[in-house]
Structure 1
Amino acid sequence: MTFAAALPGKPREGAIGGPATARAVCVLAANPSAMTLDGTNTWIVSEPDSDLAVVIDPGPLDDTHLRAVIATAESAGKRIALTLLSHGHPDHSDGAGRFAELTGTSVRALDPALRLGGEGLGVGDVITTGGLELHVLSTPGHTADSLCFHLPADRAVFTGDTVLGRGTTVVAHPDGRLGDYLDSLRRLRSLAVDEDVVTVLPGHGPVLDDARGAIEYYLAHRAKRLAQVETAVENGHGTPEEVVAHVYADVDRSLWPAAELSVRAQLDYLGEHGLI
């Protein structure tokens, strides 16, 4: 879910999809929209010398896409051994059940309702399939169950919808909470600084090669929007709909329903902190 904006994160040139790092390959789902950008990025992740691969976010229930993910892995001599979900929104997870059938894999997710035939995922878990090392990060805010996955060997992080390759994401109120989201962005900024993470591998949009710059942009954008919402309320815009019309006047009206979710999250945050 995205609002258009130019990020400082140096998006990769060319079409989205294909190899992104030494260990990550993107297969783009054919579900483009105003909310999904070019479509959902399904990630195949593996060690170069391993015949086992992990898939992050199989995407929508689209047999053509799911089979393309499998074929891409097989063409590189890889067998998909595990499926992970960054969160439960349908454009990331609806195809998980069918994908599990096609591949014989288990599906691991934070939300127990999304798990199939395997363990859950928790903070501090490390995925080691085929010698791979993926660290599970708790990053709630966009949704309560949002996760990111740190790939230390490539100095990269898979961000789902927490950080996108283009534009900014929605805090999907009431499941998503702004305070949680700000904490998650700060956690990712610390990861970029402390672990020298440079590459963002997002759930939508192009790869970004300045992780810290992109995350700091997100934090600055949120601070700016929050100040705008606070000012709008002080000026008498009392309902979420009125705030959206005032603050998001520069955003395509087709995105206003999504903007309203973020505004409701911002109003909750301001109220919790005694600012309105």
Structure 2
Amino acid sequence: MDHLSAPTLIAPGIALLQADNPSEMTLDGTNSYLLFDPKISALSPGTPVVLIDPGPELPAHLESLAQFEIQLVLITHRHGDHTDGINYLHRLCQAPVRAQLNEYCRDAAALEDHEVISCAGINVQVHFTPGHTSDSVCFTLNGVSPHLFTGDTVLGRGTTILDHPDGTLEDYLASLDRLLRLDDMPLHPAHGEQHTASHQLLRAYLAHRESRLDEVRGALIKLGKAGADVDPAQLLDVVYPDLDPRLVGAASRSLEAQLHYLASNR
């Protein structure tokens, strides 16, 4: 099994294994998190764990995860860079899989908002946080030192897209507010770097969204249009003047979400 990769221990009871799927959307790759009893000093093959996001269907990545005793798999949301590896991993270890959507569950019930899951010697709480997608979920690892796992709701760097019309800005702003009402704690995103605190980043995300809305309002005034009768393509060059061509689709969906929000909140 020389091809197996070793996860990086990032905090007591938390290890990270990053999938090799870097892109403009996934940043350095998808972060798969292994959670285990913090009293265990070292993560070794066979250690009981809870896995957050198996990631894409990359055999080497999934086989490296399966060297541990995965007792439960938790899914942050439906996108393939988080879920495509579910079936391959399930064949390897038969661990139950839970997501908000039944179609991504395996041998287990769908997640419920606010529920606390006890497994592998730890307690994980579920927080529904729609916005990036309608099924987006964050998790907190409860204990003496709590930790927040945000999926794509909050990234390690940059800002996330809103997959409109499935994800809406109204939902997203409410989800950020919900996370701010939790204690300030280390934040672990599905893509990008780790953060030692959550509140500062969450406030920055809210400020960014407000700033972007102001830019869209200004662009609409410049074009002499209302939010309900404008094509997002007309705003791209105004709101995103130096946009990477690979991000046109994502930026267009985010603009759709912002236009929908402005039309609904006049």
Instruction: State the distance in 1 between where 2:15 and 2:28 align.
Output: 16
**Retained in 1: the 8 A contact 2:13–2:39?**
no
Give the equivalent residue in structure 2 for 1:271.
263
Counterpart residue identity of residue 150, structure 1? T
For structure 1, the residue ranges without an aligned partner over 5 or more in a row are 1-16, 74-78
1:161 counterpart = 2:161: no
Cα deviation code 1:1-20 (max 9, x no counterpart)? xxxxxxxxxxxxxxxx6112
Counterpart residue identity of residue 215, structure 1? L
1:181 counterpart = 2:177: no
**Retained in 1: the 8 A contact 2:132–2:168?**
yes
For CA contacts below 8 A with separation 6 or more, give which structure has more relative contact order: 1
Counterpart residue identity of residue 41, structure 1? N
Off by >3 Å, runs of 4+ in structure 1? none
1:245 counterpart = 2:237: yes
Pick the aligned partner of 1:61 from 24, 35, 57.
57
- 1:131 Cα deviation after fit: 2.3
Identity %: 40
Pick the aligned partner of 2:212 from 204, 209, 225.
225
- 1:83 Cα deviation after fit: 0.5
For structure 2, the residue ranges without an aligned partner over 5 or more in a row are 1-6, 41-46
Give the equivalent residue in structure 2 for 1:7.
none
- 1:170 Cα deviation after fit: 0.2
Pick the aligned partner of 2:21 from 19, 22, 31.
31
Counterpart residue identity of residue 244, structure 1? L
**Retained in 2: the 8 A contact 1:134–1:151?**
yes
1:91-240 residue pairs with structure 2 within 5 A?
91-153=81-143, 154-191=145-182, 195=183, 197-236=184-223, 238-240=230-232
Say which SS state the counterpart of residue 24 (structure 2) adopts.
Answer: coil
Q: Report the TM-score when normalising by structure 2.
A: 0.90
**Retained in 2: the 8 A contact 1:178–1:265?**
yes
Q: Report the TM-score when normalising by structure 1.
A: 0.87
- 1:183 Cα deviation after fit: 0.3
